[in-house]
Amino acid sequence: MALDLCQSEDPKKTTTAERGPVSENDRQMISKYKVFSRSYDNVFYLLERLVFWKDEMDPRAVLVRKIPDDDLSILDVCCGTGRDSLALAKSNNTITGIDLSPHMLARARKKARMKGLTNTSFHQMNATEVGFQDQEFDVIVSSFALHEMDYEPMITALKEMHRVLKKGGRIYLVDYGREDHPVLQWVFSAYLKISYPQRVHEFLDYDWNKILGDIGFRLDAIEKCRVSRLICAMK
């Protein structure tokens, strides 16, 4: 569902030209990220530097290395403030970011403008109802977003990613994963307990081969990083 395709950097100026109803869950998500958008980049930049202190531990760095600079059209689903979008836009590729939160998108647009990027665009859209044509994108990325969704919306979002991805295209999903280091796993579990509902613990044990296989993807690899992983699959 395209909620608002306005490119304004000020979320207050975005129209509410919604083409369909917004669910209570979506409203809660938008509200959560309205508050969080102010500190998101600073907090996560700091946290990620502490946790992913070597490049090979950092799933975002691993993701960026995997995507060639090859005139690709890339969709960043749940792009937030555009962390991945902007990292991938240092190339000839064209990046389209979508997110529910107008406040996170406003940050992404502002950062892209400050960097003088002309190959990015950001749209307010629900991952469960993506307003693009079938097979529009060569590559889809989505980082640290699927764990935020209940199981059924997550499956719907993955089906939408499958629909808009070209045949032979690749999908890269970065999200939390189990950690081998016992002390870090203990700290990570405590963080999850404080920050998220119980279902996030179940998310860590999902069978990605089955989930993605049932939708029509072929799982290529799951690369373990620190407290996270990069799931790579092909359509």
Q: Which is nearer to ligand SAM, 130 or 233 (CB)?
A: 130
Site for ligand SAM contains 89 (CB under 6 A): no
Site for ligand SAM contains 29 (CB under 6 A): yes
Asked if 66 and 92 touch (Cβ cutoff 8 Å), the reply is no
Helix axis angle for 40-51 and 102-114, nearest 10°, is 80
CA distance 215 to 12: 37
Angle at CA of residue 154, ends 150 and 159, nearest 5°: 155
- List phi, psi (to 5°) of 90: -80, 30
Q: Residue 56 corresponds to which tokens in the numbers above?
A: 């090979």
Q: Which is nearer to ligand SAM, 83 or 235 (CB)?
A: 83
Stretch that binds ligand SAM, among 98-106, 111-119, 176-184, 218-226 (CB under 6 A): 98-106
Stretch that binds ligand SAM, among 8-16, 124-132, 218-226, 227-235 (CB under 6 A): 124-132
Site for ligand SAM contains 11 (CB under 6 A): no
Q: Which is nearer to ligand SAM, 123 or 170 (CB)?
A: 123
Site for ligand SAM contains 52 (CB under 6 A): no
Tell me which residue of 53, 120, 55 sits closest to 90, measured CA to CA.
120
Residues lying near ligand SAM in the complex (CB under 6 A) are found at: 29, 33, 78-80, 83-84, 99-101, 104, 126-128, 143-145, 148-149
